Structure 1
């Protein structure tokens, strides 16, 4: 869901995330019993490609943000 108050960068990220999810779902379906491995392999492939496109510092920062979001979501789910 895109919030109307999102910055242009956030809106672009939301669009990119939708596109990535679409392709991940297709790859997982194609992988059949390997789907969980495909999902993790896609993460590794995406990280490697992102480092080539930006820098390892940028990717590490984004992954830290993502890890924080995952932990926060887990804590909210425990409540």
Structure 2
């Protein structure tokens, strides 16, 4: 049953990523030459809102997981 729950959670997260990506792309396009700043600003806004919805600890854990994924992707690219 755990695999089913993980699979459902992954599918929901993938759908959330699709939605977020669409909105980020639109915001970056609107930002024009500020697009890199817009992307970083959206991270900050998202983190702040996530803390409001959950807790500091949950968000920090998620950000650590994300940082680990980024580092792993970088290491994989180097190989």
The whole-number CA distance in structure 2 between the counterparts of 1:15 and 1:74 is 25
Please state how far the C-alpha of 1:7 moved relative to its aligned partner: 1.3
Please state how far the C-alpha of 1:75 moved relative to its aligned partner: 0.3
TM norm structure 1: 0.92
TM norm structure 2: 0.92
Equivalent residues, number? 74
Cα deviations across residues 25-57 of structure 1 (Å, max 9, x unaligned)? 000000000000000000000000000000010
The whole-number CA distance in structure 2 between the counterparts of 1:51 and 1:42 is 14
CA RMSD after TM alignment: 0.7
The whole-number CA distance in structure 2 between the counterparts of 1:8 and 1:58 is 20
> Which residue is 1:56 aligned to?
56
Q: Structure 2: any 5+ residue segments left out of the alignment?
A: 1-5
Structure 1 counterpart SS, 2:40 = helix
> Which residue is 2:25 aligned to?
25
Q: 4+ residue stretches of structure 1 with deviation over 4 A?
A: none
- Quick check: which one's helix share is greater? 2
